[in-house]
Amino acid sequence: MTVLASAHVDTFVRDHLPPPDEWPDLVFALPQLQYRPHLNAAVELLDRTEERWGGDRPCLVTDRERWSYHRLRETVDRIAGVLTDECRVVPGSRVLLRSPNNPWLVAAWLAVLKAGAVAVTTMPLLRASELREIIELAQVGLAVCDYRLLDELRAADPALAVVAFGGEAADDLTRRAADRPPAFTAVRTRADDPCLIAFTSGTTGTPKGCVHAHRDVLAIADTFSAHVLRPRPDDVFIGSPPIAFTFGLGGLVVFPLRAGASTVLVEQAGPAALAEAIARHRATVCFSAPTAYRAMLACDVTALDSLRRAVSAGEALPRSTWERWRERTGLRLIDGLGSTEMLHIFISAADDAIRPGATGRVVPGYDARVVDDDGRELPAGIVGRLAVRGPTGCRYLGDARQRHYVRGGWNLTGDAYRRDDDGYFWYQGRLDDLIISAGYNIAGPEVEAALLSHPDVAEAAVVGIPDDERGAIVTAFVVLQPGVGRGADTTDRLQAHAKAAIAPYKYPRSIVFLDELPRTPTGKLQRFKLREQPHHG
């Protein structure tokens, strides 16, 4: 790999990593995880793939255009030239990216990495106050932004240098890049150099910036993707998560590039639009959330017959959704547990290894266990805290909460799990969401799964509402299927159904009907908002 000479390096991110004794243990157990001391993830994902498979193969696809690997590589190199020669980006600089999922966002992300800088990709739905917080925490010096999303960004920080793309302005990035040479000598980054800061969607409190290095980006492809997903070069990826969400970054950028496959990028990927795009482009691998998969079953499922893989993450996959998908499409949904702190999925299973209702087993390259509050491993069948370690791990940017997430070298995800005798992990809920009612420990997701198995229920979320007599009352917030009435009869019917499906003491004593559940831009349920709702069902 050639070297780009640089006048200096911005060390802000390295200087604000946690102290070494607060880092998780990083384990590189698989042969393919023995990376070279120096590598640039953008070069490995793009240049090396073009060399291996040829530049003419399709890479990024939309309804309007089709980019080959060669076109993407030249565009990335041109953008990298703009960033370094015109925008004063140096190795270590933080560059904020703001855009819907489209080819120019992917190209800009890869260009930032090639320039040795640090990508801070943000959700398109974020408002000025949220962007301002990220800009300040990451000390962002430049933003690359889709011209349609400039207003909130400029309101967040009027002094921030911004390069817009996709518009008609004379200084638009598309025009500036066209004037640059189509080749760029990538910065010779170290494998452990930071290359991205992913901010947690955070349902409460200040968002946490999760720092990941060049080798981390490759590691998620060489663990979950290589061993569980097992993509092929002729695969066509598609999905709904924003690329700013690490689930989307892996599923729509890193995994297809590593495999030499192509990706269909859909800017507005609601369930109906996603199903239509799958049919139109004959997509074979889909990444989305459980609620989207459930909603897609209302579409003509013959539109999904090109799929051979469908990955669900972001929140627990209800068994009823898995079973309906299997029944209607013949596909076994691949459930997966990941986190922004770990970058991507570390517990999962595919094909015949799937046990419906279980998240899966540890992804090759990772290690996981269920522990008590003191970090001691618990025997099979006992509910406790999930602890995980592997080639990726939590390194918060200048955040004291590092000490809560990492203990004794293990990443504590905040999930309550039990492990069975065969090594499968069964989700019990977030540790903060376990409901203690009349002395019983009740897992909200179990009650949700019981409600979701009723045909009248479109979505369900369960929380504990404080109660003087019982400690907490199991309260369900339910979105009904179209046409179903909200009367007392429906409440009685759903309560009876829950009592028949699970232990009667777990049934929701209160049911509140909503038009929609509150969610973050990544689709995660905001349970704290439900606790603030009026709860007289």
3-state secondary structure of 501: helix
Q: Is 80 a member of any domain?
A: yes
Q: Is 99 a member of any domain?
A: yes
Please list, residue by residue across 385-411, b when 16 or more beta carbons sit within 10 angstroms of its beta carbon and e when fewer do.
bbbbbbbbbbbbbbbeebeebbbebbb
Q: Is 78 a member of any domain?
A: yes
Residue 360: its pLDDT value, please? 98
Per the structure, the count of domains in the chain is 2
Q: Is 214 a member of any domain?
A: no
- Closest listed residue to residue 336, CA positions, set 443, 397, 420, 427: 427
The backbone torsions φ and ψ at residue 149, rounded to the nearest 5 degrees and listed phi first, read -115, 20
Name 349's bridge partners: none
- Tens of each residue's pLDDT in the chain, 537 residues: 333 434 589 999 999 999 999 999 999 999 999 999 999 999 999 999 999 999 999 999 999 999 999 999 999 999 999 999 999 999 999 999 999 999 999 999 999 999 999 999 999 988 888 899 999 999 999 999 999 999 999 999 999 999 999 999 999 999 999 999 999 999 999 999 999 999 986 544 688 999 999 999 999 999 999 999 999 999 999 999 999 999 999 999 999 999 999 999 999 999 999 999 999 999 999 999 888 898 999 888 899 999 999 999 987 888 889 999 999 999 999 999 999 999 999 999 999 999 999 999 999 999 999 999 999 999 999 989 999 999 999 999 999 999 999 999 999 999 999 999 999 999 987 777 778 776 666 878 889 989 999 999 999 999 988 877 777 889 999 999 999 999 999 999 999 999 988 878 789 999 999 999 998 877 778 888 888 876 654
Q: Which of 131, 159, 189 corresponds to the end of one domain?
A: 189
Residue 430: its pLDDT value, please? 78
Angle ∠(507,509,514) on CA atoms, nearest 5: 100
Residue 476: its pLDDT value, please? 96
Q: Is 260 a member of any domain?
A: no
CATH of the domain at 108: 3.40.50.980
Q: Is 131 a member of any domain?
A: yes
Q: How many CA atoms lie within 13 A of 214 on its CB side?
A: 27
Residue 4: its pLDDT value, please? 42
Residue 196: its pLDDT value, please? 98
Residue 3: its pLDDT value, please? 36
Q: Which of 167, 189, 211 corresponds to the end of one domain?
A: 189
Give 274-315 as a DSSP string: HHHHHHHHT--EEEE-HHHHHHHTTS-GGGGTT-SEEEE-SS
Q: Which of 189, 214, 243 corresponds to the end of one domain?
A: 189
Q: Is 88 a member of any domain?
A: yes
Q: Is 125 a member of any domain?
A: yes
Q: What tokens does 449 get?
A: 């799964």
Residue-range definition of the domain harbouring residue 523: 447-531
Q: What tokens does 442 get?
A: 């009740």
Residue 1: its pLDDT value, please? 31
Residue 537: its pLDDT value, please? 47
Q: Residue type at 272?
A: A
CATH of the domain at 518: 3.30.300.30
User: Residue 389: in which H helix or E strand, if any?
Assistant: strand 384-389
